[in-house]
Amino acid sequence: MTITPLMPVYPRCGVRPVRGDHCHLIGEDGTRYLDFASGIAVNVLGHSHPHLIAAIQHQAATLMHVSNLYGSPQGEAVARRLTELTFADTVFFTNSGAEAVECAIKTARAWHSHGGHPERHELITFSNAFHGRTMATISASDQEKMHKGFLPLLPGFRYAPFDDLAAAQALIGPQTAGFLVEPIQGEGGIRDGSVEFIQGLRKLADAHGLLLIFDEVQCGVARTGTFYAYEQYGITPDILATAKGIGGGFPLGACLATEDAARGMVIGTHGSTYGGNPLAMAAASAVLDVVANEEFLAGVRATAARLRARIEQFIGNYPDLFDLVRGRGLMLGIRLKIEPRAFVAHLRDRHQLLTVAAGDQTVRILPPLVIDDTHIDEFIARLSAGAASFSAESPV
Ligand SMILES: *Cc1c(COP(=O)(O)O)cnc(C)c1O
């Protein structure tokens, strides 16, 4: 037998973390890494936050799981907090981001179906989007590398170039149900949609009786300095998928919707065995306790401004390696002038700095939201040493 015990779908690197210590990870061999990847925007409170640990420990000893056939005081409490914090009136809890997007897709189709227009099943999505790895969510992306070997795709998705309002408008037809968009693309390379584009989608949705769905799985939960990124665009979506940061490391997602948008999601239309179980709700509740307040959000914005200024100042030293910095809050990308993977590996293996490669030659910087100036100093020192040794070894 040559197959690995873990199905070999990931190109796993040599870092093998066994312990977390605030904003650092400790490997099997004792190596200590600065974690500016956060499990891909998941560990918003870092790795050993006492409030999150205590909440999970306490709930594990009290009640871990019950069926959604029973009433859920734990779920109601978290859902109420989310609806008070956002545009939404109602919440469906899932165990992952892809499932949250799946629920959003079903909610949009059901809305039209319920309104007497079952033919309006098609969502307009955008180039280089990432919505997850289920059949529906890979079908929602135009990225062929995710489709290969898995055809046929699910029908009902049409792709427009990201940030191109006229192209999106041109795809609207009698079958259109709405738009599904990441306001700030993550895997696509930390590209934020322009205000004109995002506001334009809202206007088009209103004018044509369509739904606007935001995939904030990566950019949500305080990552960009507001609780959700849509707040920075001066509009609200009808449906929003969230996950990653919302459990702080506990697997949890949610589909948020207005009362109107959820009109088709009636008894028997959807479900999840684990979704929103008491243990997950304890984790979410602890995360919200920390991040869902103006003081914390202002702190994220201030920290992000300092980090970004340092990166922007630094990258000028290596004009052949670095192109530009983009993103919002603590969802930052450094676009390189080369493919990013070798540089990300170099930072990781030679300088114990964890970042994540993304599309469009971009290195993603996604630190825990609880970093302070010592972590920024350490990051710049490691990045600087990494850029120097990388340039010396592989001149570009
Ligand atoms: C990570 C991600 C997903 C998928 O989340 P999973 O938990 O891996 O299923 C969906 N959309 C966006 C924008 C993401 O970044």
Quick one: average pLDDT of 108-136? 98
**Nearest atom of ligand 1 to the alpha carbon of 99:** 9
Q: Give the angle 86-332-232 at the CA atoms, nearest 5°.
A: 30
Quick one: average pLDDT of 159-172? 98
Question: In the 8-state DSSP scheme, what is residue 373?
Answer: H
| Domain range for 157 | 63-291
Tell me, what's the pLDDT at 396?
Answer: 60
Quick one: average pLDDT of 176-196? 98
For ligand 1, mutation pick of 99, 127, 130, 230 (most atoms within 8 Å of CB) = 130
356 Cβ below 6 A of ligand 1: no
Q: How far is the CA of 118 from the centre of ligand 1 (A)?
A: 27
pLDDT tops 90 at residue 178 = yes
Tell me, what's the pLDDT at 395?
Answer: 65
CA distance 362 to 190: 8
Residues 233 and 323 in one domain: no
Q: Do the domain assignments include residue 11? A: no
DSSP alpha helix (H) spans, 267-333: 278-291, 294-315
Q: Do the domain assignments include residue 244? A: yes
How would DSSP label each residue in 294-313? HHHHHHHHHHHHHHHHHHHH
CB of 129 within 8 A of CB of 141? yes
Q: Which of 275, 291, 307 is the last residue of a domain?
A: 291
| Reported confidence tier of residue 373, pLDDT bands at 50, 70, 90 | very high
Q: Do the domain assignments include residue 57? A: no
Number of separate domains in the chain: 2
Q: Do the domain assignments include residue 7? A: no
**Nearest atom of ligand 1 to the alpha carbon of 40:** 1
Q: What percent of the chain stands above pLDDT 90? A: 99
Residues 253 and 386 in one domain: no
Q: Do the domain assignments include residue 53? A: no
214 Cβ below 6 A of ligand 1: no
Residues 69 and 209 in one domain: yes
Q: Which of 291, 314, 329 is the last residue of a domain?
A: 291
pLDDT tens column, 194-208:
999 999 999 999 999
Task: Indicate which residue's Cα is closest to atom 6 of ligand 1.
Answer: 97
Tell me, what's the pLDDT at 97?
Answer: 98
pLDDT tens column, 12-21:
999 999 999 9
Strand partners, 355: none
Quick one: average pLDDT of 271-278? 98
CA distance 78 to 277: 11
Tell me, what's the pLDDT at 347?
Answer: 98
Q: Do the domain assignments include residue 170? A: yes
Strand partners, 184: 192
Pairs from 234-239 (Cβ < 8 Å, separation ≥ 24): 234/195, 234/199, 235/198, 235/199, 235/202, 236/87, 237/87, 237/202, 237/212, 237/213, 238/178, 238/205, 238/211, 238/212, 238/213, 239/104, 239/107, 239/108, 239/211, 239/212, 239/213, 239/214
Quick one: average pLDDT of 206-211? 98
Quick one: average pLDDT of 112-118? 98
Give the CATH number of the domain where residue 317 resides: 3.90.1150.10
> In residues, how long is the chain?
396
| Reported confidence tier of residue 275, pLDDT bands at 50, 70, 90 | very high
pLDDT tops 80 at residue 261 = yes
CB of 41 within 8 A of CB of 368? no
3-state secondary structure of 346: helix
Residues 26 and 107 in one domain: no
Residues 252 and 341 in one domain: no
Task: Please give the helix or strand (H or E) that residue 328 lies within, else none.
Answer: strand 322-328
Q: Which of 254, 274, 291 is the last residue of a domain?
A: 291
Residues 210 and 266 in one domain: yes
For ligand 1, mutation pick of 93, 95, 101 (most atoms within 8 Å of CB) = 101
Quick one: average pLDDT of 218-237? 98
pLDDT tops 80 at residue 35 = yes
Residues 109 and 199 in one domain: yes
Tell me, what's the pLDDT at 394?
Answer: 79
Distance from chain centroid for Cα 143: 17
Residues 228 and 82 in one domain: yes
Q: Do the domain assignments include residue 12? A: no
pLDDT tops 70 at residue 164 = yes
Residues 242 and 286 in one domain: yes
Residues 81 and 170 in one domain: yes
Quick one: average pLDDT of 228-254? 98
Tell me, what's the pLDDT at 45?
Answer: 98
Average pLDDT, the chain: 98
How would DSSP label each residue in 25-89? EEETTS-EEEESSHHHHT-TT-S--HHHHHHHHHHHHH-----TTS--HHHHHHHHHHHHHSS-S
Give the CATH number of the domain where residue 283 resides: 3.40.640.10
Q: How far is the CA of 23 from the centre of ligand 1 (A)?
A: 22
101 Cβ below 6 A of ligand 1: yes
**Nearest atom of ligand 1 to the alpha carbon of 137:** 10
Residues 200 and 270 in one domain: yes
Residues 257 and 324 in one domain: no
Cβ neighbours, 10 Å, residue 280:
28
Which candidate, 225, 223, 270, places its Cα nearest to that of 105? Answer: 270
Quick one: average pLDDT of 160-169? 98
Question: In the 8-state DSSP scheme, what is residue 228?
Answer: S
3-state secondary structure of 159: strand
pLDDT tens column, 284-334:
999 999 999 999 999 999 999 999 999 999 999 999 999 999 999 999 999
Q: How far is the CA of 273 from the centre of ligand 1 (A)?
A: 20
For ligand 1, mutation pick of 137, 218, 255 (most atoms within 8 Å of CB) = 218
Task: Indicate which residue's Cα is closest to atom 5 of ligand 1.
Answer: 97
For ligand 1, mutation pick of 40, 213, 217 (most atoms within 8 Å of CB) = 217
Q: Do the domain assignments include residue 4? A: no
DSSP alpha helix (H) spans, the chain: 38-41, 50-62, 73-85, 97-114, 135-139, 144-147, 165-170, 195-208, 278-291, 294-315, 341-351, 373-393
Task: Indicate which residue's Cα is closest to atom 10 of ligand 1.
Answer: 131
pLDDT tops 70 at residue 247 = yes
